[in-house]
Amino acid sequence: MGHAVHIVTYPTGQEDIVVHHAKVHRTGPFRPETNAKIGPSPEKFLRDLALLRLLRRVIQRERIDIIHAHNYEGALIGVMAKWITGRPLLYNAVNLMSDELAGYRFIRPAWLAHAIARGLDWFVPIFPDHITAVSPELKQWFVKRGTAERKVDMVPAGIVPEMFDNADPEKFRRRHRINGRAIVMYTGVLNAFQRIDYLLRAFAVVSRQQPDALLMMVSPLVSESHRTEHKKLADQLGISDAIMWIAPHSLDDLPSYL
């Protein structure tokens, strides 16, 4: 298409995801992520500073025209890079910090986390030259709180439809010996902001009405601390025997699970 795309990111990632049509720049040698920790941490702040330094170098060396910042940390780093380099900034918004920050349990007490989150949700949309929101609800949130509608477009997360062409769900029914059981499935990360607790409590109701139902928790990342917490709640609800925890899985396997 005549564009050169450069991805600036952290050293960790998933080995099975191959990036095509773009050059990847990492802040350090690649290493597979084995026990993912999503959210803020002292180590993450240092990694973000390294990411900002690398982004500035790539912008100058490669003569980058536009900064495309993905997600919240990308937006904060992108804003600083915009100030330093003067390049226009496109922000790909996928969430609000007011929905998530307190759930990471990094900032205490919770009221302080909520206050900081509200401040970030006000601050971040001011500086991008344009914003793409992944849902109509997120776009409307920006517009209702003062962002000009012409500055925000709704662009849903992209997929490759062909990845579902050869899905083989029976493979996993055989592997996990599911037989003919009714399945409730969740795919995604296990962090608190996903409200897995709601899902477990809802499944407890389902399980009482349909005792042979199976809840499959399928996650692309291993997160021991969150899984341990959710298993504890499942024990309290009496549904542990009706839950299957699967992590990690490859992107290629996801269509067959679904």
Give per-residue pLDDT as tens, 220-258: 888 888 899 999 999 999 999 999 999 988 888 999 998
| Buried/exposed 99-117: b ≥16 CB within 10 Å, e otherwise | ebbbbbeebeeeeebeeeb
pLDDT for position 104: 80
Taking only the tens place, the pLDDT of each residue in 32-62 is 877 667 778 888 899 999 999 999 999 999 9
| % of the chain surpassing 70 pLDDT | 99
Domains of the chain, earliest start first: 6-154 (3.40.50.2000), 162-257 (3.40.50.2000)
What does pLDDT average to over the chain?
Answer: 92
Average pLDDT of the segment spanning 182-208:
93
What's the confidence (pLDDT) of residue 249? 87
Query: Which tokens belong to 161?
Result: 């439809």
Q: Which two tokens stand for residue 228?
A: 């341990």
pLDDT digits (tens, 9 = 90+) for 155-169: 998 888 898 899 998
Q: Which two tokens stand for residue 25?
A: 């720049």
Could you give the CA distance from residue 52 to residue 46 in angstroms, rounded to a whole number? 10
